[in-house]
Amino acid sequence: MSNTIAVIVDDNSIRQIVNAALSDAGYAVLEMEARGLQMQDSTHGIAAVCLGIDDAARFDLLQQIRAIDAKLPVIVLTNHDDIAERALREGVYDVIARPTAQRVRHAVSRAIQHNELVGHVSELQSRLAQYESATVVPMRDLERTAIERALRATRGSVTKAAKLLGIGRATLYRRLASPDMADIRAGRITQPGTSAPMSSLSQATMAREP
């Protein structure tokens, strides 16, 4: 694993349990002192924080971490039930009362998975917002534009335009016969070999086209 876990634990026995548990699981451990936390201006590369709290006054560390990165999962480690309850009320990701190696590894694994999921959801929401803000062109308009361009490029030849579009000539004639193509028939399309606009051609003539 390449995830780095920041460990801010003053209690030596708890810190040893945490460091050993994370190292054995393949995590990189970054030990940080509480007084150095204020100098941290970035949490880049840190997947979660194991924060030891044995004194209610140390909850200020939690606020400092959130000020740096509000989305960073924080796991509070403590031997005191009252602090564990307060940490949960404060909205930390998880609390481990009386930490063991197994509990630490399990909590950190879930925290990382949760954080990755949140990141994926945020990315998907961003992509969705881009699609929602984009102008969607109706399919019929795209088809009409393609037909117009093909006829313009072939100087009104339905046979050549159909070949250019990759469709059969009969298919193109049927599309041109629809009401929404009336202006194209009248103004741009002529039957090969005549100057008469296609709109003046008889339905019988169109029906004979292969």
Question: Given this model, what pLDDT does residue 172 score?
Answer: 87
Residue whose C-alpha is closest to residue 46's, from 13, 89, 8, 11: 8
Distances (CA, A) of 137 to 53, 61, 128, 150: 57, 52, 17, 19
Q: In total, how many domains does the chain have?
A: 2
Q: Are residues 169 and 110 in the same domain?
A: no
User: What range does the domain containing 114 cover?
Assistant: 4-133
Residue 50, helix vs strand vs coil: strand
Domain identity same for 123 and 39: yes
Question: CATH no. for residue 78?
Answer: 3.40.50.2300
At 95 the pLDDT is 92
Alpha carbons within 13 A on the beta-carbon side of 4? 9
Q: Answer yes or no: do 64 and 161 share one domain.
A: no
Answer with the one of 78, 112, 133 that is the final residue of a domain: 133
Strands 28-31 and 46-52: unpaired
DSSP element (H, E) containing 96: strand 94-97
In terms of domains, do 148 and 118 share one?
no
Could you read off the pLDDT of 70-96 as tens digits, one per residue? Answer: 888 999 998 888 898 999 898 899 999
Task: Identify the pLDDT of residue 196.
Answer: 45
Low-confidence ranges of the chain (pLDDT < 70): 1-2, 34-45, 132-134, 136, 187-210
Q: Which of 81, 99, 133 is the last residue of a domain?
A: 133
Which residue, 109, 133, 157, sits at the end of a domain? 133
Q: What is the pLDDT of residue 76?
A: 93
Residue with tokens 């250019």: 164
User: How many whole angstroms separate alpha carbon 182 and alpha carbon 89?
Assistant: 69
